[in-house]
């Protein structure tokens, strides 16, 4: 990021979650004199343990609160006078959205609306120079675009929105709100739509960390359907670097797709994890962890394939991922093997019961 464009004070919503915490930790490693205000409700997937590295910096501030709470958000704007807000806060698990869509509407739609309104009222009161510097960056997902067939071209920013789950529909709605606040009110917004992230601090309900933990525990490795569903995998630190680039130099009102150029079937992902574990933490009986793979009933409305075309980001802002899937998954497996205390701290109890119910 160009030195003159670094935001000295930023608000990061959802900053105790997976991607948000990686972003905050990396922001401080790049800009140790920055001030970062993390707003997080600390629901089941948000944990202050994720921010241990960031908490060592003098500029770290944490506020426990909900993005749909107008008084909380307004107070943060008033006290800290940020130059940017980066919105990671979201309910994000498709399976949970199927069972309880209401929470997804409340957080992803109503919460984003509240952030936009609070940001708009704050922004309109700034002087012209501060208005020109302020940014509202909304982090979204490739799932808003729907599903691709095997021979379809990857999603570009012009692809129509065709969400197929309550989760993706709620994120699509939030994207539309962000766009409207730019075109109607002039709020200086940016939107990013990313592919599947993976890496450190990934909550273990998601495929990659769930497979790692189940394998180590001697449990079955559940894969929906026949495992042929395809996702584009993006290492989380590559995603963070892309967001920093968009925040610094992205064109206002624009959307930027962020992908890893790593399309893999779910079955291939699980087999790759098994091979990594076979090498790093082999079973005592010498059998491959792949023997624990089992196929379970497919989820309703399961999208067949996601694939991101990140050419716009590459051509306009000179960004490209640094990790291949092979290098990223090796780092991920090694991180989980080295951080079993973290896994135990964020799981157990209700989490274990949910996993048993979901995959039985």
Active centre residues (catalytic): 142-143, 167
- Gap between the Cα atoms of 38 and 90, Å rounded: 14
Residue with the two structure tokens 């426990």: 64
The secondary structure element, H or E, covering residue 263 is strand 263-265
DSSP 309: -
The alpha-helical segments, DSSP class H, found in the chain are 18-30, 70-80, 94-99, 101-104, 112-124, 128-133, 166-185, 207-216, 236-249, 266-280, 311-317, 325-338, 340-346, 350-359
Task: Dump the DSSP string for 26-89.
Answer: HHHHH-TT-EEEEEE---TT--GGGGTTGGGSTTEEEEE--TT-HHHHHHHHHHH--SEEEE--
CA 127 to chain centre: 33
**Residue 334 region by backbone torsions, left for phi larger than 0, else alpha for psi between -120 and 50, else beta:** alpha
How far, in Å, are 9, 95, 164, 168 from residue 98 at the CA level?
37, 5, 11, 11
In contact, 40 and 89? CB cutoff 8 Å: yes
- Gap between the Cα atoms of 201 and 300, Å rounded: 27
Residue with the two structure tokens 């409305």: 301
Residue with the two structure tokens 């790093």: 280
């Amino acid at each position: 990021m160009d030195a003159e464009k670094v935001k000295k004070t930023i608000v990061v919503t959802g900053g105790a979650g997976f991607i948000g915490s990686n972003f905050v930790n990396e922001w401080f490693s790049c800009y140790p004199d920055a001030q970062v205000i993390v707003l997080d409700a600390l629901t089941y997937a948000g944990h202050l343990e994720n921010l241990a590295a960031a908490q060592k910096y003098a500029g770290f501030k944490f506020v426990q609160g909900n993005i749909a709470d107008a008084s909380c958000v307004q107070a943060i704007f008033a006290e800290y006078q940020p130059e940017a807000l980066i919105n990671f806060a979201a309910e994000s698990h498709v399976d949970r959205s199927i069972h309880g869509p209401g929470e997804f509407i409340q957080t992803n739609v109503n919460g984003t609306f509240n952030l936009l309104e609070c940001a708009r009222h704050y922004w309109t009161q700034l002087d012209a120079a501060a208005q020109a510097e302020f940014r509202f960056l909304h982090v979204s997902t490739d799932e808003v675009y729907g599903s691709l067939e095997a021979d379809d071209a990857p999603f570009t920013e012009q692809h129509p929105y065709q969400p197929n789950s309550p989760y993706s529909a709620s994120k699509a709605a939030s994207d539309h709100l962000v766009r409207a606040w730019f075109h109607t009110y002039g709020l200086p917004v940016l939107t990013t739509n990313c592919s599947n992230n993976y890496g450190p601090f990934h909550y273990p309900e998601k495929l990659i960390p769930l497979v790692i933990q189940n394998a180590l525990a001697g449990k079955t490795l559940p894969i929906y359907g026949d495992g042929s569903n395809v996702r584009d995998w993006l290492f989380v630190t590559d995603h963070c670097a892309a967001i920093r680039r968009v925040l610094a130099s992205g064109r206002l009102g624009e959307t930027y797709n962020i992908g890893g150029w790593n399309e893999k079937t779910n079955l291939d992902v699980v087999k790759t994890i098994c091979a990594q574990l076979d090498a790093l933490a082999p079973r005592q009986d010498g059998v491959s962890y792949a023997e624990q793979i089992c196929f379970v009933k497919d989820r309703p409305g399961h999208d067949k394939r996601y694939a991101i075309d990140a050419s716009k980001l590459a051509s306009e802002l000179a960004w490209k991922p640094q990790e291949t899937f092979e290098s990223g998954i090796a780092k991920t497996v090694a991180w989980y093997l080295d951080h079993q205390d973290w896994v135990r701290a964020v799981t157990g109890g209700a989490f274990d019961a949910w996993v048993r119910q979901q995959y039985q």
